[in-house]
């Protein structure tokens, strides 16, 4: 059976050039980057070069890049680090975020309630956009931090981060953004958007798993999350993932070089696929804004279905997609993102996230559309019996 991978938002296959760049640092240049001898210095030099490459890709300084184990840790660090730092100062113990953030962000915000923080969860409109006026109203009571993701991992909606960050700063709050889903397709410039912190992850941009980064603007104070060493300029304990850092740098550099061409091709494939399934399958609706949206994302609700049977049937037919965030795949609850858009629980459970990548072909999408059409028809017929 031929298998078709349409879950690039969950993870991407590692690019072969990226894997080749990593190989020497898993075999020959194997030293601990914090050791003072030759082997350690060679590893440290590779990490330093990787840090500079990643910084250049987002228009930051290399001293503002801190390596993490991935986007989840970066989100945890951003939220909890600011909260811990705020406890030591006379800062409003209040954090504002949106209802459609990644679970790692929402659960980190929830954690701060144990520290005495008040949390405000902003609603979004039907397309998943955070309205600037709603953020401004929430900020009138003060806040230490605002966190809104750049591109949503389930519906692909892209926020006006520059405008939202400007509003936060006008009320004296810091601004963090989870850019994990945006780095591959969006031209990220932290000086232009003026964000104070930003989370990134390598495995969403054809890099290795287990490595990410938190950008922290120079002058921003945040408490460290992981203790036990002086790595990352004494801000994160733990042996440096040298090969991962090298892979992350290779991936983000290649993503920037390929971005325009990949976006053009993937957007064309996406739009053709959407047109095909809407034409051929009755009662299909698209979730999220179709203009302010990353090109690789498709999120659909299939009318008449009410559970995740379609997802499992597609898997048996060789099509790999998802019902939402991979980090929530073990949950029986419907997507919190789709509920925030106003969908009912039954509608949310009958939704699919189909995400494309640079290796996706038009032939794969034609076959996937045909399989989806057949599976939907089979399930609807079963429900009539």
Those residues with Cβ within 8 angstroms of residue 297's Cβ, 6 or more apart along the chain or in another chain: 9, 151, 155, 156, 270, 288, 353, 355
Q: Are the beta carbons of 317 and 383 closer than 8 angstroms? A: no
Q: Among the options 184, 227, 321, 327, which is catalytic?
A: 327
Using DSSP's 3-state secondary structure scheme, residue 199 falls into strand
Q: Which two tokens stand for residue 129?
A: 């956009």
Q: 99-138 as b/e, with b when 16 or more CB fall inside 10 Å? A: bbbbbbbbebbeebeeeebebbbbebeeebbbeeeebeeb
**Facing residues of 300 across strands?**
286, 352
DSSP 197: E
Positive or negative torsion for Cα 167, 9, 11, 72: positive
Is residue 81 helix, strand or coil?
helix
Catalytic, 327? Answer yes
Tell me the C-alpha to C-alpha distance, in Å, between residue 177 and each of 149, 174, 232: 5, 10, 21
Q: What residues act catalytically? A: 327
């Amino acid at each position: 059976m031929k298998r078709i991978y349409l879950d690039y938002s969950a993870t991407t296959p590692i690019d072969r050039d990226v894997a080749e760049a990593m190989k020497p640092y898993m075999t020959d240049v194997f030293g601990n980057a914090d050791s003072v001898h030759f082997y350690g210095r060679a590893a440290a030099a590779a990490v330093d070069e990787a840090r500079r490459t990643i910084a250049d890709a987002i228009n930051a300084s290399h001293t503002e890049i801190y390596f993490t184990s991935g986007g989840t840790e970066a989100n945890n660090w951003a939220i909890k680090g600011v909260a811990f730092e705020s406890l030591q100062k006379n800062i409003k113990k209040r954090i504002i975020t949106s209802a459609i953030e990644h679970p790692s962000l929402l659960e980190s915000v929830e954690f701060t309630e144990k520290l005495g923080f008040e949390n405000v969860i902003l609603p979004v409109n039907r397309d998943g956009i955070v309205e600037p006026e709603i953020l401004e109203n929430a900020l009138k009571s003060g806040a230490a931090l605002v966190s809104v993701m750049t591109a949503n991992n389930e519906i692909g909606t892209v926020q006006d981060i520059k405008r939202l960050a400007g509003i936060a700063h006008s009320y004296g709050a810091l601004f963090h953004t989870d850019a994990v889903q945006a780095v591959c397709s969006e031209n990220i410039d932290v000086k232009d958007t003026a964000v104070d912190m930003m989370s990134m992850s390598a495995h969403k941009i054809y890099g290795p798993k287990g490595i990410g980064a938190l950008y922290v603007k120079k002058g921003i104070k945040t408490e460290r999350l992981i203790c036990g060493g002086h790595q990352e300029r004494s801000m994160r304990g733990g042996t440096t993932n040298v090969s991962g850092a090298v892979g992350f740098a290779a991936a983000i550099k290649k993503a920037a070089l390929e971005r325009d061409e990949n976006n053009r091709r993937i957007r064309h494939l996406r739009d053709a696929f959407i047109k095909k399934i809407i034409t051929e399958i009755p009662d299909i609706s698209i979730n999220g804004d179709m203009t302010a949206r990353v090109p690789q994302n498709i999120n659909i609700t299939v009318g008449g279905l009410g559970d995740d049977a379609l997802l499992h049937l597609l898997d048996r037919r060789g099509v790999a997609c998802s019902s939402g965030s991979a980090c929530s795949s073990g949950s029986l609850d419907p997507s919190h993102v789709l509920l925030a858009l106003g969908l009912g629980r039954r509608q949310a459970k009958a939704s699919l996230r189909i995400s494309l990548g640079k290796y996706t072909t038009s032939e794969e999408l034609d076959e996937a559309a045909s399989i989806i059409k057949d599976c939907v028809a089979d399930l609807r017929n079963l429900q009539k019996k």
